[in-house]
Amino acid sequence: MALPEINITNVSQAIQLALTPVFLLTGIGGLLNVMTGRLARIIDRGRYLAETPPPTLAGSARLEREFHDLEKRRRLASGAITACTFAALTTCLVIVLLFLEVMGSLRIMWLVGLTFMLSTLALVISLALFLREVHLATYTVRIAQHSGQTRF
């Protein structure tokens, strides 16, 4: 099976086309770093409360409420990380498809566009879940401040 002749112009064009998704991947990587950091803090707080609950909270309804809030936040953060990872994977697929389009002389630009839209949609879902988790975290801190207690 003969490989198609690869023109240096085509390779250069493929690299130029792939730059935008590569920058998007960099941004997604930064988001994943922030999201996993938040998830780690949620898990650390849950472990701390499970192992050594403050005497004022031990066995109280407030402790159960905090566990409930932490679980909600954990699910939101995990969902955001999953959607963000899916966005990164589909962005990588966009890069591969761009090279196949240019170097393999395939007519798959519709697939490139569809995959990019899927990646963007996953990123939007990820950011929405992340925003919800942040709002839930700030809401629970505000409630704790108004009740005269610190919940950090």
Tens of pLDDT, residues 105-125: 789 999 999 999 999 999 999
| Mean pLDDT over each residue of the chain, to the nearest integer | 87
* Residue listed under structure tokens 């950091």: 37
The answer to whether the predicted template modeling score (pTM) of the entire model surpasses 0.85 is: no
Backbone angles phi, psi at 80, to 5 degrees: -65, -40
Cα distances (angstroms) measured from residue 105 to each of 98, 108, 114, 118 = 10, 9, 18, 23
The whole-angstrom separation of Cα 61 and Cα 49 is 13
Summarize pLDDT for 30-76 with one digit per residue, the tens.
999 999 999 999 999 999 988 887 777 666 888 888 899 999 999 99
Q: What are phi and psi of 147, to 5 degrees?
A: -90, 0
Question: Is the per-residue pLDDT at 152 higher than 60?
Answer: no
If we measure between CA atoms, which residue out of 40, 120, 44 comes closest to residue 83?
120
Query: Do 94 and 123 touch, CB atoms closer than 8 A?
Result: no
Within a 10 A sphere around the Cβ of 47, how many other Cβ atoms? Answer: 11
Cα 120 from chain centroid (whole Å): 12
